């Protein structure tokens, strides 16, 4: 994301917001660049070609499977705003990467984020400098969503591996173009769906996939806060993108999203939804209910999963960071009531066992995400949140937006 002029350190913050104007330097057409853009991949023979020339288009680049595991990967981070500064911190702390460039239209703010401890990392307002650098093997994009596709396309065309802040692109069509281009060029494409690397989410996925909860029936997710309004996307594309990526990671083989319904409110009438509810219908008849808001007087981040065997609740803001699991005392009878029962009873109780706290990995999710990016590049294998995973989330986001336009009508996923 773009710079925040109040940035003074690389300590993480808790929201994404920016009021800066679009960064012209970051999206300048590379054909205006007078220098050649180096093509190819690290450790292999590479040639020079002017950006946009025939020599720089369409030539498949070999994977970097020969890159030694202990050699840091040269990386440039584009965007030193809220999320960019978190990425900068984690890439600087990783021994798998060597941060060559930080790119932001506000060089002064980028310099404040970087500090004085990393004098070898250069700062520029022009992304072409990073794209031209043969020591840069990977590009990280943390800019407004509408710029992801263009910056990503240019990075891949220059022979760089690519990590993109969520969402992958501003449309599914643009996202598909990035996926196809990365495949043609033999390059790693990864989406920073950070929560997919969080210890609690990995634990929830394990509980679903090893059938500890039984078949998932209902998911409740709440992600609300106040005052942190983004100007480039609405609340669905900002906050619900997290929950949809988590849902996609949780679903076991054989269960998929069939359709999405959504409704939202834009009380300030500025063109962006500030509040929304989503109903995600699953192929097994299950339902995921997601509530997101920028206008809540309180901040909440919770998720509950109810299965046929047990349920689990995660409160991301709980000071003890606990995940609590509730078992059923027996397999619940979830079938239809008999005619006799229906005539004599109005309640069928579901009896739960005592709550059990479940431990999980507390390693910072961004650190694990950065390590996964390095692993994927060095082994020439797909990362956990690859382009295909990004496309799953994009299709759900587009379906939600279409449903809002049609007053909550269900939209089937293609």
Per-residue model confidence (pLDDT) at position 230: 84
| Three-class DSSP category at 219 | strand
Per-residue model confidence (pLDDT) at position 333: 54
- In 244-336, beta strands by DSSP E: 257-265, 275-282, 287-293, 295-307, 310-315, 323-327
Sheet holding 97-103, edge to edge: 122-124, 97-103, 73-78, 138-141, 161-165, 189-192
| Three-class DSSP category at 162 | strand
The torsion angle over the Cα atoms of residues 290, 296, 301 and 307, rounded to 10 degrees, is -30
pTM for this model (two decimals) = 0.80
- The string of DSSP letters for 315-376 reads ETT-TT--EEEEEBSS----SPPPHHHHHH-S-----B---EE-----S-HHHHHHHHHHHH
| Three-class DSSP category at 403 | helix
What domains are there in the chain, each with its CATH number? 25-192 (3.40.50.720), 196-412 (3.30.360.10)
Q: Cβ(146)–Cβ(168) under 8 Å?
A: no
Per-residue model confidence (pLDDT) at position 356: 87
Q: Under the phi-then-psi rule, with left for phi > 0, alpha for psi from -120 to 50, and beta for the rest, what region is 217?
A: alpha
Q: What is the mean pLDDT of each run of 10 residues along the chain (414 residues)?
A: 36 34 36 30 29 32 52 96 94 97 94 89 96 98 96 98 97 98 98 97 96 94 88 93 97 96 93 95 97 95 94 91 80 56 56 81 96 97 97 98 97 90
Backbone angles phi, psi at 157, to 5 degrees: -65, -25
Of 105, 117, 139, nearest to 20 by C-alpha is 105
Per-residue model confidence (pLDDT) at position 63: 40
């Amino acid at each position: 994301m773009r710079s925040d002029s109040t940035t003074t350190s690389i300590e993480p913050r808790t929201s994404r917001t920016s009021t800066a104007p679009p960064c012209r330097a970051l999206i300048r057409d590379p054909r205006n660049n007078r220098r050649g853009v180096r093509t190819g991949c690290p450790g292999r023979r590479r040639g020079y070609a002017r950006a946009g020339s025939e020599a720089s288009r369409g030539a498949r680049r070999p994977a970097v499977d020969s890159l030694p595991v202990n050699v840091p990967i040269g990386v440039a981070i584009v965007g030193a705003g809220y999320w960019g500064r978190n990425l900068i911190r984690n890439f600087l702390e990783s021994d798998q990467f060597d941060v060559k460039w930080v790119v932001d239209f506000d060089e002064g703010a980028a310099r404040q984020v970087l500090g004085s401890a990393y004098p070898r990392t250069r700062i520029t307002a022009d992304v072409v400098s990073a794209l031209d650098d043969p020591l840069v093997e990977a590009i990280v994009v943390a800019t407004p969503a509408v710029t992801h596709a263009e910056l990503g396309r240019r990075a891949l065309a220059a022979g760089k591996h690519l990590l993109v802040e969520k969402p992958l692109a501003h449309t599914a069509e643009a996202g598909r173009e990035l996926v196809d281009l990365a495949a043609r060029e033999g390059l790693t494409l990864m989406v920073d769906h950070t929560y997919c690397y969080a210890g609690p989410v990995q634990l929830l996925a394990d509980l679903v996939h090893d059938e500890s909860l039984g078949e998932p029936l209902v998911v409740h997710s709440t992600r609300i806060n106040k005052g942190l309004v983004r100007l480039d996307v609405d609340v669905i594309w900002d906050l619900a993108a997290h929950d949809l990526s988590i849902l996609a990671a949780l679903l076991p083989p054989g269960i998929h999203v069939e359709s999405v319904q959504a409704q939202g409110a834009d009380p300030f009438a500025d063109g962006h939804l500030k509040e929304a509810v989503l109903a995600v219908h699953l192929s097994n008849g299950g339902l995921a209910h997601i509530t997101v808001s920028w206008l809540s007087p309180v901040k909440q981040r919770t998720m509950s999963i109810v299965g046929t065997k047990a349920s689990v609740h995660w409160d991301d803001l709980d000071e003890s960071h606990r995940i609590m699991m509730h078992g059923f005392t027996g397999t619940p009878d979830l079938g239809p009531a008999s005619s006799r029962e229906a005539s004599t009873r109005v309640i069928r109780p579901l009896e739960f066992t005592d709550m059990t706290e479940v431990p999980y990995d507390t390693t910072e999710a961004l650190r694990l995400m950065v390590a996964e990016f390095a692993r994927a590049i060095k082994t020439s294998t797909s990362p956990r949140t690859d382009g295909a995973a990004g496309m799953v989330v994009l299709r759900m986001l587009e379906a939600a937006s279409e449903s809002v336009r049609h007053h909550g009508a269900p939209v089937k996923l293609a």
